[in-house]
Amino acid sequence: MAYFERLDEATFRPTEHVGGGWDPDEQHVAPALGLLAHAVEVDQRGRRDHELQLARLSYDILGALPIAPVRITVEVLRPGRTIELVHATLSHAGRPAVVLRAWLLRSYDTADQAGGALPTIPGPDDTPPWDPASIWPGGFVRSVEARRYQERPGRAVSWVRPTMPLVHDEQVSATARVLGVIDIANGMTPRTPTTDVAFPNVDLTAHLLATPCGEWTGLDTTVAFGPTGLGLTHTTIHDTSGLIGVLTQALTVRPG
C-alpha cells in the first residue's frame, strides 16, 4: 500500500492511509504536500538536462480535502539554468485545495563550508517510542512510526518515519518523502488537549539546507498560541546526520 496511486500523468487517487487527524474522512494534508513536491521534481526532470534542488517550499492550504482523486498542475514562474521559481496546484473536482511556490537552486560542492550554530537533537535510538494515535484519529497517524521526548506540552523532540511509500510503484526522492511527513509536527506536542481546542495550520513553509538521508526525520518543535486566536508551530528538521532545515506553520486556534 501507499498514500497515493497514480491514475494518469496529473491525477492521483489517495488511499485510506491519508485519513486526517481533525476528520478521518478528510485527507491529512501531510502526504499531499509531499505529493506536490514530487510533482515539481518529476516536472523538472522531464524538461531539464540537469536537476535543481528544492530549497524553499511555501504551501498554502486553501481548504479541506476529501479522500478522493486529486489533480496537480505545475507552472514555471521564473525559469533559469541555476535558479527557478515554480508554482504547483493540487485540486479536487476543479477546486484548488493546496498551492505551492518552490524555489529550486543549483547544487554546488560546499562541503568545506558546511556547518552552523543551530543545536543538534538526540537521535531516534535515544528517543522513547510514542504512538500519535493515542491522541489523534485517522489513517495517516496510524501509518507513521514515531518516537518522542516531550519537555512539556507545546515543546518536544520527536522522530517520525512513514511505514509506506508516498506513491505506489513509483520512485520518490528522499526530499519529497520527508516533505510528505513533516506537517505532522503541529500535532506532535499539543499545548492543550485536542478535545478543548482546535489548532489546524493554514500553511507550511520549509527551508532546506541539505538532502535528507536515512528513514527517520527528526522534529524539534515549539508551539505557541497568541491571545487572539493566532498560533505558530516552529520546528527544526533533522536527519540522523544533523540539521537539514526549518519549518513554520501558521495556526488558527479555535476553542471548543
Would 114 be classed as within a structural domain?
Answer: no
Would 115 be classed as within a structural domain?
Answer: no
pLDDT at 101: 98
**Helices of type H across the chain:** 29-45, 139-142, 174-179
**DSSP secondary structure string for all residues of 59-92:** EEE-S--BSS-EEEEEEEEE--SSEEEEEEEEEE
Would 111 be classed as within a structural domain?
Answer: no
- 3-class DSSP assignment, residue 95: strand
pLDDT at 117: 85
CA distances from 61 to 172, 174, 205 (A): 22, 23, 11
Place of cell 491525477: 11
Mean pLDDT by 10 residues, the chain (256 residues): 96 97 95 98 92 96 96 97 97 97 96 88 97 96 98 98 97 97 98 95 97 96 98 98 97 94
Give the total number of structural domains in the chain: 1
Let me know: does 217 contact 184? Beta carbons within 8 Å.
no
Would 163 be classed as within a structural domain?
Answer: yes
Report the C-alpha gap between 69 and 7 in whole angstroms.
Answer: 9
Would 116 be classed as within a structural domain?
Answer: no
Q: List all residues 6 or more positions away from 120 whose beta carbon is below 8 Å from its beta carbon.
A: 238, 242, 243
Report the C-alpha gap between 188 and 219 in whole angstroms.
Answer: 9
Q: List all residues 6 or more positions away from 139 whose beta carbon is below 8 Å from its beta carbon.
A: 15, 16, 17, 18, 19, 24, 28
Would 56 be classed as within a structural domain?
Answer: yes
Would 138 be classed as within a structural domain?
Answer: yes
Please report, for the domain that includes residue 62, its CATH number.
2.40.160.210
pTM: 0.96
Would 202 be classed as within a structural domain?
Answer: yes
| Domain containing residue 135 | 4-106+123-255
Let me know: does 184 contact 144? Beta carbons within 8 Å.
yes
pLDDT at 48: 87
Tell me, what amino acid is at 253? V
